[in-house]
Amino acid sequence: MALAKAILALENGLTIEGEAIGAVGTECAGELVFNTALTGYQEVLTDPSYTGQIVTFTYPHIGNYGVNVDDVESDRIQASGLVVHELSPIVSNYRANRSLQSYLEESGVAGIQGVDTRMIVRVLRLEGAMRSIIAHGDSLDPRELVERARAIPSMSGLDLTPLVTTQAPYEWQGASDAEWDYRPEVGSQPVRKRVVAVDFGVKRNILRRLAHHGCDVTVVPATTSASEILALNPDGVFLSNGPGDPSAVTKAIGTVKDLLGKKPIFGICLGHQILSLAIGASTYKMKFGHRGANHPVKNLRTGQIEITSQNHGFAVDPYTLPANAEMTHVNLNDQTCAGIALKDVPAFAVQYHPEASPGPHDSDYLFEDFLALM
């Protein structure tokens, strides 16, 4: 059965023809990025940090183990669209309850297959992540699609947290299935800690790891004030991952300023950037970002190397860190800042994802560090 025609149009004028997948007949728009993970496409697509982005997977064969109800990082697909070399028509895994194709269809997410993803990644590495559109149909005008791609708002300056944050506080009640837990020995804490997690687009596995390490977690909206957080009397405050430009999340930056020194703070990804901005450092948009499950990071305090899961398009400029902060981790691929800690108050953060999902478990110790800080 022949598939409908699809076109991927980039703002630099490049148009690529392929086959329509996902919700055939629809289209999607966003910043085109690439992810180098070999597995975990379901977790990637449902990660709120991918809001406003079209994801290109470098691994050529995607969808072969299907989709299940447990491996989602939010309640829906968050990525705008999907680019793959081949979407597997066959699903083979005992945990799967549906195909990736049917999941995309139900979610109304468009995609394209049958394209040279190696070439696309090379373009993004050379020219940077760029605005793009995927459209389906036989009578598409490639030039018109390029012009529409150029009209998409740039990721710089965008606060996307209102699109992904919870609308009301809630207590995390997610199950921590011992069958899948990779560090059961840390799950029996004698005294549980109360943590307020500020939701900028939090991944569910972060909440699972906090709970597994002995934390009772209350998740609050991104706009929650410092006084409202302190009124909950937490032992510590967690700043979550999320999409968009960190410098645009101005209310949260002010909130963190007001929390410093009052409660221990731990930030991941966007939370790392917001903590850094709160202490006076600067952030910048990276050329093509870090997205994958195989990024080496060096812990500058211990000298140990961690293989990490990452997903970010902005980074902290380490040369702008104030005297009361130190860089604790560095990305060994490009020497960018991968972690900071404050010297005068109990607060630290990392640019990568210690909860992984997908990815290696090398950095799970950071949750223990947070517990020790509390």
Q: Which residues are known catalytic residues?
A: 269, 353, 355
Helices (H), the chain: 41-45, 100-107, 117-127, 142-150, 161-164, 204-212, 226-231, 250-259, 270-278, 365-373
Euclidean distance between CA atoms 356 and 310, whole angstroms: 8
Rg (CA), the chain: 20
Q: Are 102 and 74 in contact (CB under 8 A)?
A: no
Give the three-state DSSP class for 296: strand
The helix/strand/coil state of 308 is strand
Peptide bond into 358 cis (omega under 30): yes
DSSP 326-368: EEEEEETTT--EEEEEESSSSEEEESSBTT-SSS--TTTHHHH
Question: d(Cα 358, Cα 143) in Å, to the nearest integer?
Answer: 37
